[in-house]
């Protein structure tokens, strides 16, 4: 059974409060992350800011942090090269001016070179591992960023949800009141399933009427031709009927005006014309 709108709204508000409280306790920000790094930096070092990080922490952005990181990486590379150079010079000078001087044989150089090759190979493997780790961290950071943006979007939706639920509840109440006061059609009060069945039945009836209409339209030319043919046949019969009627009227007139045997002959002819008219009338009625 689905939850009621009130329970849904209450649950949404509870989730929103929990999420807001969690975000307040665990705020995610570039500035907050940078403070954890800069808080461990000595004050003397912080006073000697580089060109890439001369701006204050209040204006820290991801682009500035990336520029600072690139600058510091280049700076550390230069410092490491300078350190190796100075240490090498120092060792070389001590070996020359020492008493007694430090003499290194060819075998020791070969062993040292072999050791350096092994150290370089190990360093290369470590660099590859670090590069893979950095790539994984970047991928994980992008995923977390997308999830964080999704959470922010869902938070906005949760904040809008109670207002939408209240508006929908008011609209439902308004529709129920309008249906109770003004609706007199029982079909408008049907539940959803019965309404869907009624709509399906009405659509089937409409399709049946459409098919019947198409069938009648296909028969219309043939019926029209039959009507034209009957009208053509009816023309001569109508003319004949009119002639017979005129002859019958003329015979009746002569009968009334005639005397003797002539009148009897006209009376027989009139009866014949009347009988002919009756037969033709029946024929014409049958054709119609």
**Sign of torsion over alpha carbons 151, 157, 160, 164:** negative
Give CA separation, 16 vs 6, 9, 116, 148, in Å.
15, 10, 60, 15
CB-based burial label for 201 (10 Å; 0-12, 13-18, 19+): exposed
CA 155 – CA 167 distance, rounded (Å): 19
Q: Do the Cβ atoms of 281 and 255 come closer than 8 Å? A: no
| SS3 state at 98 | coil
Mark the ranges of the chain whose per-residue pLDDT is less than 50.
Answer: 1-2, 31, 41-58
Residue 2: the pLDDT is 47
**Sign of torsion over alpha carbons 153, 154, 158, 163:** positive
Give CA separation, 225 vs 218, 219, 222, 228, in Å.
13, 10, 5, 5
Q: Do the Cβ atoms of 58 and 43 come closer than 8 Å? A: no
Residue 227: closest CA among 282, 288, 173: 288
**pTM of model > 0.85:** no
**Sign of torsion over alpha carbons 93, 96, 97, 102:** positive
């Amino acid at each position: 059974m689905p939850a009621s709108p009130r329970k849904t709204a209450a649950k949404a508000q509870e989730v929103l409060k929990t999420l807001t409280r969690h975000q307040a306790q665990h705020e995610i920000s570039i500035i907050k992350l940078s403070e954890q790094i800069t808080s461990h930096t000595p004050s003397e070092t912080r006073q000697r800011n580089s060109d890439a990080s001369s701006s204050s922490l209040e204006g820290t952005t991801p682009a500035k942090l990336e520029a600072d990181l690139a600058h510091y990486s280049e700076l550390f590379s230069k410092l490491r090269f300078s350190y190796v150079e100075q240490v090498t010079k120092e060792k070389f000078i001590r070996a020359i001016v020492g008493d007694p001087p430090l003499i290194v044989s060819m075998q020791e150089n070969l062993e040292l070179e072999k050791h350096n090759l092994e150290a370089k190979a190990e360093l290369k493997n470590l660099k590859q591992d670090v590069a893979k780790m950095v790539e994984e961290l970047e991928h994980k950071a992008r995923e977390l960023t997308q999830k964080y943006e999704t959470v922010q979007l869902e938070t906005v939706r949760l904040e809008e949800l109670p207002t939408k639920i209240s508006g929908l509840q008011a609209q439902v109440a308004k529709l129920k009141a309008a249906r109770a006061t003004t609706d007199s059609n029982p079909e408008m009060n049907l539940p959803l399933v019965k309404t869907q069945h009624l709509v399906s039945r009405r659509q089937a009836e409409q399709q049946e009427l459409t098919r019947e209409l198409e069938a009648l339209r296909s028969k219309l030319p043939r019926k029209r031709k039959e009507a034209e043919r009957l009208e053509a046949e009816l023309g001569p019969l109508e003319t004949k009927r009119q002639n017979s009627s005129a002859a019958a009227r003329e015979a009746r007139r002569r009968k009334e005006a005639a005397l003797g045997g002539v009148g009897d002959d006209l009376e027989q002819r009139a009866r014949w014309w009347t009988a002919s008219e009756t037969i033709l009338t029946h024929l014409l009625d049958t054709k119609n």
